[in-house]
Amino acid sequence: MNLSDFDRVAPSRVILARTPTPCEPLYGFNQQHGFDVWVKRDDLTGCVMSGNKIRKLEYSLRQALDRDADLVLACGGEQSNHCRATAAAAARLGLACRLFLRVPDPQNPPPLAANSLICRLMGAEIEYVTPDQYARRDDLMVEAARTEQARGRRPYIIPEGASNAVGAWGYMRAAAELAADFDALPAGPDPAVVAAVGSGGTLAGLILGFKLIGRPVPVIGVNVCDDADHFIRVIHDICRDAIQEYGLDVEVTTQDIRIADGYVGRGYALNQPEELAFIRDLARTDGLVLDPVYTGKTFLGLTRELEKGHPDLAGRVVFIHTGGLPGLMAKGDELAAVL
Ligand SMILES: *Cc1c(COP(=O)(O)O)cnc(C)c1O
């Protein structure tokens, strides 16, 4: 199934991402290690409307428009890339945007910077919430939606990371795009695909997408929070929901969901010097900038797994650069310490 066949079976989307994104080899890194790693540049899906979330939002926001919404509700961490992409896309589509951002102390939120700065610039309203409140984010957004409805607004809720059945189409479509990339690579077996896992929608979409187009590509996720068991559950649920909701003729078992655990480090959005030094080194060998929260840890994990001889990673590997550059800007001081 090629991309135009895919678009015929997929729900309609609103075009926000600049696709297809390039798929290019690394040079310095590959030479140094003797690996064959390519990078799918989903950091180039846009400038501000960029990264992996914008692919999912093409489908989520189409659904919001179809339901005649005038306001979108979204949530994430204080430096959420997802919320930044949502705020920008909402502004572009003429929708109001309200964001729930997790901070240690909502009475004293950090100053606007990087992602949060762009969210406000785009006119999004920010409500800071505690980690405890964030733990019940779905209820929080449903309550906020009810209040807004009572005021005559038509809210649309986007769950964390747009990682649900409709959002999964974004990376199902990326799988179809990757299949075309693979056909253009030097001859050889299909590569394995590696991506970061934060809320699971990217991995779920890739797994579903390669099944839907009938191309058995191993998809390996590196989790940047929680653990493998958690994400096998989460990703399996997203796949099940998408299969049910859209009547997809595919089957996803827990065996299809491969997570390389062990690279969370100090915790979500927390770094150790080794991770920052790794980001520095790749910037210097290849001119490629990873982010400290997702792609830096994931690429470090990929490198360690390659060194250990992970059975799925023996040949060519395509790493999905899911974006997150503003997150790096928010950590300038920490990063400067390793430069
Ligand atoms: C959200 C995010 C991810 C994780 O994707 P999920 O679909 O949430 O698992 C990876 N990289 C970046 C830069 C992100 O912002």
The string of pLDDT tens digits covering residues 79-126 is: 999 999 999 999 999 999 999 999 999 999 999 999 999 999 999 999
Q: How far is CA 44 from CA 21, 29, 137, 177, in A?
A: 6, 20, 29, 14
Taking only the tens place, the pLDDT of each residue in 139-175 is 999 999 999 999 999 999 999 999 999 999 999 999 9
Contact present, 262 and 300 (Cβ < 8 Å): no
Q: Is 291 close to ligand 1, i.e. is its CB under 6 Å away?
A: yes
pLDDT (mean) for 209-227: 97
Beta-strand runs (E) in the chain: 23-25, 37-40, 71-77, 96-102, 125-129, 155-157, 192-197, 219-223, 258-259, 317-320
Q: How confident is the model at residue 212 (pLDDT cuts 50, 70, 90)?
A: very high
Look up the pTM and report it.
Answer: 0.98
Taking only the tens place, the pLDDT of each residue in 138-149 is 999 999 999 999
Q: How far is CA 310 from CA 92, 179, 231, 301, in A?
A: 43, 22, 19, 11
Q: What are phi and psi of 242, to 5 degrees?
A: -65, -40
Q: What would the two tokens of residue 81 be?
A: 């890339």
Residue 32 is predicted with a pLDDT of 97
**Average predicted confidence (pLDDT) for the chain:** 97
Percent above pLDDT 70 for the chain? 100
**How many alpha carbons fall within 13 Å on the CB side of residue 97?**
28
Pocket test for ligand 1, best of 294, 329, 331 (most atoms within 8 A of CB): 294
Helix runs in 189-311, H state only: 201-212, 228-246, 273-286, 295-308
Q: State in Å: Cα 80 to ligand 1 middle.
A: 9
Q: Is 319 close to ligand 1, i.e. is its CB under 6 Å away?
A: no
Peptide bond before residue 20 is cis, with ω within 30 degrees of 0 = yes
Pocket test for ligand 1, best of 41, 42, 81, 295 (most atoms within 8 A of CB): 81
Q: Is 81 close to ligand 1, i.e. is its CB under 6 Å away?
A: yes
pLDDT (mean) for 56-85: 98
Residue 103 is predicted with a pLDDT of 98
Q: How confident is the model at residue 127 (pLDDT cuts 50, 70, 90)?
A: very high
Please give the angle made by the CA atoms of 181, 187 and 188, to the nearest 5 degrees. 95
- Three-state DSSP at 82 gives helix
Residues acting as catalytic residues = 80
Atom of ligand 1 nearest to the CA of 171: 7
Atom of ligand 1 nearest to the CA of 56: 7
